[in-house]
Amino acid sequence: MKRNIIIGVLTTIVLIMALAIQPFSFENIDAGNVGIRINLYGSDKGVDNITLVTGRVWYNSWTTKIVEFPTYTQSVDYESFVITTKDAAEFKVDPKLNYHINPDKVPQIYRQYRRPLAEIQQGFMKNTIYDAYRIVANSFTSDSVMSNREVFEDRVQNVLTKTLGKDGFVYDQLTSAITPPPSLRQMIDEKNASIQARLKAENQAKQAEAEAKVIIARAEGQAKATLIKARAEAEANQLRQKTITPLLIQQEWVAKWNGILPTTNAGGSTSLMLGIK
């Protein structure tokens, strides 16, 4: 009886130890990630050319290693650095890169760099970004960088697209945040202030000219109205003079006569209508 108990206990211990040290395990590859199988022993040791899909992957932990790489969009905010234009002006750049990894290139990336993604970002990718800015800046003057920011950043993005893309890093977006040197910043501010002052003076001149035109137009209108009124009165007077005749005057006098002859100082009455028959 005791012997059977001892055998049972030993068997249980052996099973537990076997389960504890058995090499088979699994890895859950989450969505947005891919895993690569690495053979640790044998003639084909190294990175397999097989990209494992998402899901649960079984493997022998004694002979195989599974490395998981994210393929969703990564956002890396790099430390600022200084670039120099071809006229020796120094600009501060604070880049922020958004990218993702081509799943088919994951084995190649691991085989080439043998580093976790975080280390690749702060090593190869960081140096590539800095070099892209420095190369492009050497073809621009300080003034052209500020006046052609879009062209400058497009050239940097083209360099990054080619350099990173060939290794499987797919460029999505880059924010440069370029800051000019203080002296150039002051010149730009003064230039902008001068332009604003000139525009303000031009607007004021245009406004004054418009107001003067309104005043002139009103004066011309009043003058024309006065002239038209004077002409109308003159023409009316001429018409009145042409229509007033002696006969018309006598008729008007008769129409208004009350029958009493006007008295003179001699005491007699004299008819003012002469020649009336």
**Is pLDDT of 158 > 70?**
yes
Name, of 56-65, 186-195, 263-272, the range with top average pLDDT. Answer: 56-65
Q: In this predicted model, which residue has the larger pLDDT, 141 or 255?
A: 141
From 173, 181, 175, select the one nearest 146 (Cα to Cα).
181
From 126, 120, 163, 158, select the one nearest 139 (Cα to Cα).
158
| DSSP letter, residue 276 | -
Per-residue model confidence as pLDDT tens digits over 88-115? 888 999 999 999 999 888 888 888 888 8
Q: Yes or no: say if 146 and 169 are a contact pair by the CB < 8 Å rule.
A: no
Per-residue model confidence as pLDDT tens digits over 24-49? 777 888 888 888 888 777 665 666 65
**Is pLDDT of 189 > 80?**
no
| DSSP letter, residue 65 | E
The terminus-to-terminus CA distance of the chain in angstroms comes to: 183
Domains in the chain with CATH codes: 2-70 (no CATH), 74-180 (3.30.479.30)
Burial degree of 141 (CB within 10 A; 0-12, 13-18, 19+): middle
Question: Which residues are CB-contacts of 158 (< 8 A; sequence separation ≥ 6)?
Answer: none
Per-residue model confidence as pLDDT tens digits over 113-132? 888 889 999 999 999 999 99
